Amino acid sequence: MKTQQQPVLIVAVGSAVLLAFFVLGVVVGPGLPWPPNDAKTIADFHKLFYYSAATTWKNSRWLGVPLQKFPTDLMVYQEILWDTKPDVLVETGTYKGGSALYFASIMDLLQKGRVITIDVTDRGRPPHPRITYLQGFSTAPEIVATVKGQIAPGETAMVVLDSDHSYANVLNELQVYSPLVTKDAYLVVEDTSLNGHPVHAEVGPGPWEALEDFLKSDSSLVRDRTREKYMLTSSPGGVLRKIR
């Protein structure tokens, strides 16, 4: 027979188990109470999903426009946009415009925000009144000046780095674009999973390593591992919140 005490007992037991995970240190990252044996399962599924690209993340579309994003990351982006409601989102790496269109679509629902997206190549640009397309290298002085000129004083800004994933370029982008991120807003470094984290161990230093080195000299951004709650992400350790 069910009693009114059962929900209380369930909550108490669940809380005790969660507390035990933290006390024992069995976490994948801060805010992620996954037992250690689950970390391998998560990494294995990540590899399966990633290396099945032709039928998974490279076969994804938003309103018919290709975008190379994990569906779990898209959900997290939606949550971040809702939580922070930035005036401007700066994206490096437009590809075919699917992610910019996705961000703009969420902003339509929020009735706030616009996207500035940058790429060296025009591979197709879906029109949207909230999107501004810039063509050129993301770190070129004239592109950076244009981006800064389109963010008015007092506006809040978020940044997504998803262009050339080489170590040098990502580090350069972090140095150039992190100052644009306003307090309590987010900076996301995509594809930190490369170089064995857990995919493509052969490629050499890239986003993960660039971010690690950048954070050694910048304490204004902190990793928000709670944004990895769906376990599958192309940006492990790459979602950062500006704290000052």
Q: pLDDT tens, 27-58?
A: 334 445 567 778 899 999 999 999 999 999 99
Q: Rounded to an integer, what distance in angstroms lies between the CA atom of residue 18 and that of residue 133?
A: 45
Q: How confident is the model at residue 23 (pLDDT cuts 50, 70, 90)?
A: very low
Q: Which CATH architecture is the domain 37-242 placed in? A: 3-Layer(aba) Sandwich (3.40)
Does residue 242 contact residue 192 with C-beta atoms inside 8 Å?
no
pTM for the complete prediction? 0.86
Q: pLDDT tens, 151-204?
A: 999 999 999 999 999 999 999 999 999 999 999 999 999 999 999 999 999 999
Where along the chain do its domains lie? Answer: 1-33, 37-242
Q: pLDDT tens, 60-87?
A: 999 999 999 999 999 999 999 999 999 9
Q: How far apart are the first and last CA of the chain?
A: 54
User: What's the token pair of residue 24?
Assistant: 């024992």
In terms of Cα–Cα distance, which of 1, 29, 33 is closest to 14?
33
